[in-house]
Structure 1
């Protein structure tokens, strides 16, 4: 059964019952016939400039053109659904494209100050309330909180949240560095990082290429020296011998 609006459901079921497609009446069928739904109101969009011009031409007795008729038809397409979250998120990733590569943690966040408590304290809600290592989604949530609960413009809320985000990321980076230094000072030994492994692989490939190039150069030098010696022997055998070659050939023929 295709989709129907509310006033058409009872009529469609009546036709199906009359045709024998439905054997028993549904439980709601009698109530729907006794209390039919109200018809849908007609859509009356607000007339625009083109519609007013079309009506004025008709009132003046002028014949409207096809372009006037086409422009007088109201636009009944649904408007696009937009959310502030998507706008803030798109702007954040446009400003920070590499944040999409940042690893995420699956641990649930701890307790944070609620919006009601923040409003009662009378100060703007900071990004620190979402944690000491916030992510992009925390930036979006904090920006909307500042915009909606604290009556800041979306641009001002976004830049305020970004300032807190940069400060928290700097604190987290410094804390991570000092944690590594303290661990090494306490005797911890860390394995090679991915960057070090990449440099080692690159060095091994360069060393192998260097050895292959040296072998090719040595082989080329040996070939050149052998060719030079062969040319020298050939020149000694075919050069002027003062008649010795002629005498030796004559003795062989006797």
Structure 2
């Protein structure tokens, strides 16, 4: 079908009708009657929707085109899980737990469902804040404890396991030192040394800044003192000259 290039949708039907009338096309295309009954639209953008008010007397009114859409119109909805609030509370009370190394790789994303949270410690899983949260959820669902009561129970169990692990680690370190092991400086000692170096560097800079400031003060004060001395000498000379130039009482009586 020889249609003109860049033909608009409405002209397709007209040109096809003309081709049928001239005999160029032997039969109607399958879409001919459909386009004749439902003409294509020339506007490719969405039209302004009609807003129907609650009152039937007002009738429909067109939305204002000047109304700006919110910037969050295309943002996804915020999804809130029950564990999110528990995590927020736990890590607010224990911020240093976030500094511990964690394994972020999971098999299915629901690995916590494969453990029995009737107890805090699980085989094959390191103890962390997520263990406390899942334990708290289990107590709330199965033991019917309140949020605060379940949090206290899970938190005390967590403290007990942490203290036992700390004691075991200290005993292992002492046994290793007794047979000649050397561990070097601890993180606390390294941190204290770095802090002392930073304080010494700050002290040197502060002393240099104080010395420069003292020099500026002395440089500004020196010209002022010289001018003051000169002014005092001029005042003294003027006073002495005035006294010398005044006539004596005898000379005044002779006159």
* TM-score > 0.5, shorter chain as reference: no
| Rg (Cα) greater in structure | 2
Higher helix share goes to which structure? 1
Higher RCO (CA 8 Å, separation ≥ 6 residues): 1
Q: TM-score, normalised by structure 1?
A: 0.42
Q: TM-score, normalised by structure 2?
A: 0.42
